Amino acid sequence: MLGQKNILVTGRSGLARWRKRLYAAMARNARPAANHFGLPPGRVIEIGEQLEI
């Protein structure tokens, strides 16, 4: 079982807007954990959450 986070850029935190957008873009472009560990895609369960920054 693997975890996945969707990053939502909001105006609620103290970070600068460009930093929030950069972090969200890097998170979207990151390689999935299943690929990193060499797990077969048909045998992986992903649990997800949304994270507001």
Give this prediction's pTM.
0.64
Number of domains in the chain: 1
Can you tell me whether residue 46 is helix, strand or coil? strand
* pLDDT, position 1: 67
**Which mean pLDDT values do the consecutive 10-residue runs of the chain (53 residues) have?**
80 84 88 86 85 84
pLDDT at 27: 86
Helix (H) / strand (E) containing 19: helix 17-29
Q: Tell me which residue of 32, 42, 40, 38 sits closest to 4, measured CA to CA.
A: 32
Helix (H) or strand (E) holding 37: helix 33-37
Query: Tokens representing 36?
Result: 């990193």
Range of the domain at 34: 2-52
What pLDDT shows up at residue 30? 85
